[in-house]
Amino acid sequence: MNAHLRIDGETLVFPIIGHPIGQVKSPASLSQIMAERGYNGMVVPVHVLPQDLDGWLQHAAAVQNCRGIVVTVPHKVASMQICSRVTARAQTSGAVNILLRDETGWVGDATDGQGFMDGVNAQNFDVAGKPALLVGGGGAGSAIAYEILARGASELALHDIDAGRRDGLIARLNAIFPGRVRVGSDDPRGFALVANATPLGMRETDPLPVQVDLLEPGQFVADVVTRPAVPPLMAAARAKGCGTMPGSAMFEAQAVLLAELLMGVRKAALD
């Protein structure tokens, strides 16, 4: 990486903020993408406590060579409040994971869903015209739900153990995609895409998010879990003959997307 990295007075700096921050792996991968493309920029981890977030964001706005910020937990919801504009997917999920500077201030976007579905597409599965089941309606799940529908799924069934959160997300999604979202369950039968947006599978003692014995060959199963490398849901789906996308593939697709947004290669989709 150092052979390609350029640091000088014209380097653009893109902080990734969180609390804690030591666990993030993306600064190196995002900076590497920029370096490989000849872009004079770098992503650096910044540890910001929740009580200091507002003040830090105000100071960041004064840094002229900071044109974007990557946001991770627990700042995704709070960072949305300082945005001058947000994308529809961010509005639906109620959180942002990237801030991009424009003439109006900070523009907020939520790219988890795009990264997830880009990873799915890379495995040669297209959800357009097909029914999908999504387990998990949190921040990432909300963005993934939006993107599944935006890419043309015929219907989306949403399952979440928090009924209030589930029903609120269904209402928000149906306001944008009328009549295409309903309550789901852990029964995956009848769905072309089965997606897990919960952390279930990170621990050996976790239950599986769906009834894997009901999976059938030809279904595509996707997961946000990155560790272990082959989460239990992926192992069970592969044993059933399903196509799969583990969380690591989402991470890789998300890295390219975030880097391209920071570099200005892609623009936030403001409707």
Condensed to tens digits (0 to 9), the pLDDT of residues 3-50 reads 467 899 999 999 999 999 988 889 999 999 999 999 999 999 999 999
The pTM of this model reads 0.87
Which among 25, 76, 240, 267 is annotated as catalytic?
A: 76
User: Judging by DSSP bridges, how do beta strands 98-102 and 105-109 pair with one another?
Assistant: antiparallel
Arch. (CATH architecture) of 113-248: 3-Layer(aba) Sandwich (3.40)
- The pLDDT score that the predictor gives to residue 227 is 85
pLDDT (0 to 100) of residue 238: 98
Going through 59-127 in order, the beta strands assigned E by DSSP cover: 68-71, 85-86, 98-102, 105-109
Percent of the chain with pLDDT over 90: 86
**Amino acid sitting at position 136:** G
Fold for 12-111+251-263, please state it.
Rossmann fold (3.40.50)
Q: What is the pLDDT of residue 271?
A: 57
Half-sphere CA count of 20, side-chain side, radius 13 A:
4
> By percentage, how much of the chain surpasses pLDDT 70?
98
Identical fold for domains 12-111+251-263 and 113-248, yes or no, is yes
E strand or H helix that includes residue 193 = strand 193-196
- Would you list the domain boundaries of the chain? 12-111+251-263, 113-248
Q: Residue 107's beta-bridge partner residues?
A: 85, 100
Measuring CA to CA, which residue among 246, 218, 215, 244 is closest to residue 230?
246
Q: What is the pLDDT of residue 229?
A: 87
Q: What angle do CA 27, 23, 142 make, to 5 degrees?
A: 85
Q: Which residues pair with 109 in a beta bridge?
A: 98
Whether 158 contacts 209, CB under 8 Å: no
Mean pLDDT of the chain: 94
Q: What is the pLDDT of residue 32?
A: 95
Q: Is 240 a catalytic residue?
A: no
The predicted pLDDT at position 1 comes to: 46
Q: CA–CA separation, 197 vs 226, rounded Å?
A: 11
pLDDT by position in tens, the chain (length 271): 444 678 999 999 999 999 999 888 899 999 999 999 999 999 999 999 999 999 999 999 999 999 999 999 899 999 999 999 999 999 988 889 999 999 999 999 999 999 999 999 999 999 999 999 999 998 889 999 999 999 999 999 999 999 999 999 999 999 999 999 999 999 999 999 999 999 999 888 999 999 999 999 999 999 999 889 899 999 999 999 999 999 999 999 999 999 999 999 988 877 5
